[in-house]
Structure 1
Amino acid sequence: MVAVFNKDLLSWYLITLKLRETLESGNPSSSSNPANRSIEYSQQQQEQKLQHDPTESLQVVIKENGENFREEPNSPLSEWEISIKEKLEQARQDDVASSWSKISIYRIPHYLRDSSGDDKAYAPQIVSIGPYHHGKRRVRQMERHKWRSLDHVLKRTKHDMRLYLNSMKEMEERARSCYEGPISLSSNEFAEMLVLDGCFVLELFRGAVEGFQQLGYSRNDPVFAMRGSMHSIQRDMIMLENQLPLFVLDILLGIQLGNPDMKGLVASLALRFFDPLMPTDEPLTKSDRNKLESSLGSSATATFDPLSHHGGLHCLEVFRRSLLRTGPQPAPRIWIKRRSNGNRVADKRRQQLIHCVTELTEAGIKFNKRKTDRFWDIKFKDGILRIPRLLIHDGTKSLFLNLIAFEQCHLDCSSEITSYVIFMDNLINSPEDVGYLHYRGIIEHWLGSDAEVADLFNRLCQEVVFDINNSYLSPLSEAVNRYYNHRWNTWCASLRHKYFSNPWAIISLVAAVVLLLLTLAQTYYTIYGYYRPASS
């Protein structure tokens, strides 16, 4: 059985086979024939070509009876085939259903990062927490301060470093599963990162409540003091890509305070630390703060945590739930549920909840400030839209973008923040809309101009997937739109705008009405006297 590799070679093989049979039969002239030597030379050329380019082979097997069939190649796999097999094996590992459900700290999707036009809103500029930005050049300067914080912890608690490292080693697999995609850090590097970043975060949290001097830091410390850089650190630490799992912080704080089973205190410390980022006036009441401080001063045996019964994923998720505490419970309309069976994909063409401020005021809708610290709690009744006060500063954009990104990425997360931001985006189309809301006390901002605020809201939800029917503000928006579409309300609003906008307009209107009445009276008596003249 002989293997032949292509049609040309097969022809030469048959000719050679015939010549060989002639030679074996004793014909001496066959070997001296120039044609035969030419055939043998061509056969050698074909064999050399085959050796240089084996990819053209067909591997046809010739049997003694003249039949042929294809045979599977026996050559080893090529690098290309090996690469494909490796990719398939990696895909099988990535497709484990349980691994996706454990992820809670996500990388920002490219469509959100590109649409915002501001990478600084998602990437830390001063301090990195977690593996995503670990070791990057712009955050290396903070590393020495992290080691200082760890040294303070070890001196204050008189613990051995191995106690913290071993505890993180035990949690390594669980901690890695919280992050999206493979982490390039080795086992030792990952455990070291958890201990170093976790202790740094806890020192900042505790210092914000107890005071940094109580923890052993100098009042002139460049980081562990309430200086101007603290706001930038807070903004970095609330980013989605810059998080540690909350259970890691719970374990580290439990070791420091001598209570390994303690849970919940870290969430309260985080709320106190991130308090300046709240877009409300009084996010944490004075009594809550007093309870929190007393819990820290009593060996943390009776901790106070308003969110402890909910658990927690990381600091951003805890911060979000604190914003929405006793918050809205959006329920899609029944006919939408029945029609979609829960498998509806959001339509990007239907994200207009409401008209802008200018159009609504022209339709007679009034805007008032609602006195509550729950900025999302908007009400509408009798043509009056009551909106709580919203504080906007230079960290508001990054805060909202990361909250929206978390709602977009996490499957078990509702979309209250996204609904609110889209609602405000619909209201604000121009600097004039911002100026009116500022005049009504609804928006207070520390930015350069009203145009910057309008641009901020107009950019927040670009490329965001949002279902208008799942918004908790959808019923309110429908009520506002019904009022807006009623022509009588528009006519009344136009009358008030033109003739009752100032006292002089009112006086002119009253004078015109009186003049009209006098003219009608004069006309009436003139006609009456004509048909019924006075008797002489």
Structure 2
Amino acid sequence: MVAVFNKDVLSWYLITVKLKETVDANLNKSAPPPGALPLWQALNRNLPLLTNGEAAGAGGDALPPRQEREREVKVQVQSPAHSPKPQDPEWVVAIRGKLAQARAEEAACPWARLSVYRVPKSLRDGDERAYMPQVVSIGPLHRGRRRLREMERHKWRALHHVLKRTGHDVTAYLDALRPMEERARACYDGRVAGMQGNELVECLVLDGTFVLELFRGAQDGGKGFGDDLGYSRHDPIFAMRGAMHAIRNDMILLENQIPLFVLDLLLGLQLGNPEQTGAVAGLAVRFFDPLMPTDEPLLRKDRSKLESSIGASPAAAAFEFDPLSGPMLHCLDVFRRSLLRAGLQPTPPPPARLWLKKWSGLRRVADKRRQQFVHCVSELREAGIRCRRRNTDRFWDIRFHDGVLQIPRILIHDGTKSLFLNLIAFEQCHMDIATPGGNNITSYAIFMDNLINSADDVKYLHDRGIIEHWLGSDAEVADLFNRLCQEVVFDINDSYLSGLSDQVNRYYDHKWSTWIASLKHNYFSNPWAIVSVVAGVLLLLLTMTQTFYGTYSYYRPMH
């Protein structure tokens, strides 16, 4: 077909072709395709000239199919209203790219599965060291740090001992964990996305085996290392001496955790029962026992429960530790649950007594900005409220009765601050925590922060046997509690101690008790003061008697 450059000739040619096709196909009975212009509109438009390549087919010497010719005829001339939109500016394109990245991140990150968090900057400011491992990294968040690389060779030694003892090949553990890689990855908050799947599986197997070897070796006070686990009595790591204190402190950090289901699987593979659960939790409680902030012995019923649940040997694989119901997340969560065993129920405020209502003013409202539970010890003493040691191993179980605040003994050592900071950070990050007592450690820390304002408050509690510390001075203990809950978001009404603080504040607002306390403090604080008061009272009575008889003799003289 030869290209035609005359518009009139082209128009008549197209009309002829179109009429012939209409007659042949009987197109008058069918509707035109949507979006096509009528023939008379197409012919009356300023159609573009056809070139040889456009009018001919692919080869240039044959007519195109009928549909192709119709498409060429039904050319739509775009009006300004249908013109394409101008391209977005570069800054809008950048915004669209960031939105696409946010959509991808939202879809790829199941927030409900998070359990190993990075401590928020607002909490770690001023005390970065309390959240950072100093000796060993557990899990991927701190893997590869220069100062922690020395411990890597001991992890490989632990894995070697496990494979030698069990007769397994390392692929058995790698293959078992590979299907759980995405589930484990979803537990971490941080830069785990940059770690390849095989690298994460290697990290979990290596670190998880190291943790289990420490747990199993500590079960019998370290005796099992030489007899059952195959380590030397002089081993620098697994002999439960030397660096074990620092390792234990690192393993309780929030950012230094491995999901518990990974540890359960690894231990199950070693014991020949991959489906077992609960064994690791029991071993973890025994391993972290030296970090307990109390030196009171376990109650008899609690001791029997722990012994029956943990058992004498992990090979039994029948023990299950469940201090509180519900699935456990990692070792820090297990330790927290063991602290809060038996649960914490909020203390309801008691009905006010008639004499209390008579002498009391309006109910004191806690200052939400200061998160004020109670007054400090010095102020409570002025109101007649005394503190007494309560004999229990549950350091959080505080009671109040008849003006006496009963507080269990708590032991403060060099690792207590880091321990409480990480427990509080976990409660702050895991806001919808499924375990009972979602903020009970935070509640206790804030209560003690309110109770202690100075070294004198610590000295008074120390003299009463409530606080035992290994720090340099009472002022350091006061500073420790005053810094625990900085920048912590907390509602005093959502606390197991809210009812107790209400009781204490009601008693504090009672004026009669304040007067009695002031009298005791000023006039009965020591034996000499008591003697002075008694002598003054006797002198006052004698003076009144003398005055009476002098007045009586004046009005009724003797005859």
Equivalent residue in structure 2 for 1:176, among 185, 188, 210: 185
- What is residue 444 of structure 1 aligned with on the other side? 468
- What is residue 509 of structure 2 aligned with on the other side? 485
Q: TM-score, normalised by structure 1?
A: 0.81
Whether the 8 Å CA contact 2:113–2:187 is kept in 1: the answer is yes
Equivalent residue in structure 1 for 2:176, among 152, 167, 171: 167
**The 10-residue stretch of structure 1 (176-185 or 403-412) with the greater mean CA deviation from structure 2:** 176-185
Whether the 8 Å CA contact 2:216–2:283 is kept in 1: the answer is yes
- What is residue 313 of structure 2 aligned with on the other side? 296
Structure 2 CA distance for partners of 1:283 and 1:191, relative to 1, 3 Å: farther
Whether the 8 Å CA contact 1:350–1:468 is kept in 2: the answer is no
Whether the 8 Å CA contact 2:109–2:186 is kept in 1: the answer is no
- Matched residue pairs, number? 455
Whether the 8 Å CA contact 1:295–1:304 is kept in 2: the answer is no
Whether the 8 Å CA contact 2:249–2:415 is kept in 1: the answer is yes
- What is residue 191 of structure 1 aligned with on the other side? 201
- What is residue 251 of structure 2 aligned with on the other side? 237
CA deviation profile, 1:39-79 (whole Å, cap 9, x unmatched): xxxxxxxxxxxxxxxxxxxxxxxxx9xx967944676x777
CA deviation profile, 1:13-62 (whole Å, cap 9, x unmatched): xxxxxxxxxxxxxxxxxxxxxxxxxxxxxxxxxxxxxxxxxxxxxxxxxx
- What is residue 53 of structure 1 aligned with on the other side? none
**Which protein has the larger Cα radius of gyration, Structure 1 or Structure 2?**
2
- One-letter identity of the residue aligned with 1:260: P
Equivalent residue in structure 1 for 2:225, among 187, 190, 212: 212
Whether the 8 Å CA contact 1:267–1:308 is kept in 2: the answer is no
Q: Distance in 2 between matches of 1:439 and 1:416?
A: 26
- What is residue 432 of structure 1 aligned with on the other side? 456
- What is residue 403 of structure 1 aligned with on the other side? 423
Q: Distance in 1 between matches of 2:90 and 2:272?
A: 56
Deviation at 1:347, TM superposition (A): 8.8
- What is residue 89 of structure 1 aligned with on the other side? 100
Whether the 8 Å CA contact 1:105–1:179 is kept in 2: the answer is yes
Q: Distance in 2 between matches of 1:156 and 1:85?
A: 56
SS of 1:281's equivalent?
Answer: coil
CA deviation profile, 1:235-265 (whole Å, cap 9, x unmatched): 1000110000000000000000001111101
1:146-161 paired onto structure 2 within 5 Å:
146-161=155-170
1:356-505 paired onto structure 2 within 5 Å:
356-413=376-433, 414-505=438-529
CA deviation profile, 1:222-247 (whole Å, cap 9, x unmatched): 11112131111111000110000000
- What is residue 73 of structure 2 aligned with on the other side? none
Structure 2 CA distance for partners of 1:126 and 1:439, relative to 1, 3 Å: same
- What is residue 277 of structure 2 aligned with on the other side? 263
Deviation at 1:81, TM superposition (A): 5.3
Deviation at 1:331, TM superposition (A): 8.1
Structure 2 CA distance for partners of 1:388 and 1:240, relative to 1, 3 Å: same
Deviation at 1:151, TM superposition (A): 0.2
Structure 2 CA distance for partners of 1:283 and 1:145, relative to 1, 3 Å: farther
Q: Distance in 2 between matches of 1:529 and 1:172?
A: 105
Q: Distance in 1 between matches of 2:165 and 2:451?
A: 53
CA deviation profile, 1:280-339 (whole Å, cap 9, x unmatched): 124656545654664426x32421424385321001011101101112134899xxxxxx
Equivalent residue in structure 1 for 2:344, among 328, 353, 360: 328
SS of 1:477's equivalent?
Answer: helix
Whether the 8 Å CA contact 1:331–1:470 is kept in 2: the answer is no
**Percent identity, aligned pairs only?**
65
Whether the 8 Å CA contact 2:236–2:242 is kept in 1: the answer is no
- One-letter identity of the residue aligned with 1:101: A
SS of 1:280's equivalent?
Answer: coil
Q: Distance in 2 between matches of 1:189 and 1:374?
A: 42
Considering only aligned residues, what root-mean-square deviation do their CA atoms show, in Å?
2.4
SS of 1:367's equivalent?
Answer: strand
CA deviation profile, 1:317-371 (whole Å, cap 9, x unmatched): 11101101112134899xxxxxxxxxxxx99515111100111111111110000
Equivalent residue in structure 2 for 1:228, among 242, 260, 265: 242
Q: TM-score, normalised by structure 2?
A: 0.77
Q: Distance in 2 between matches of 1:517 and 1:81?
A: 94
Deviation at 1:490, TM superposition (A): 1.2
Deviation at 1:86, TM superposition (A): 3.4
Structure 2 CA distance for partners of 1:440 and 1:93, relative to 1, 3 Å: same
- One-letter identity of the residue aligned with 2:330: H
Whether the 8 Å CA contact 2:411–2:467 is kept in 1: the answer is yes
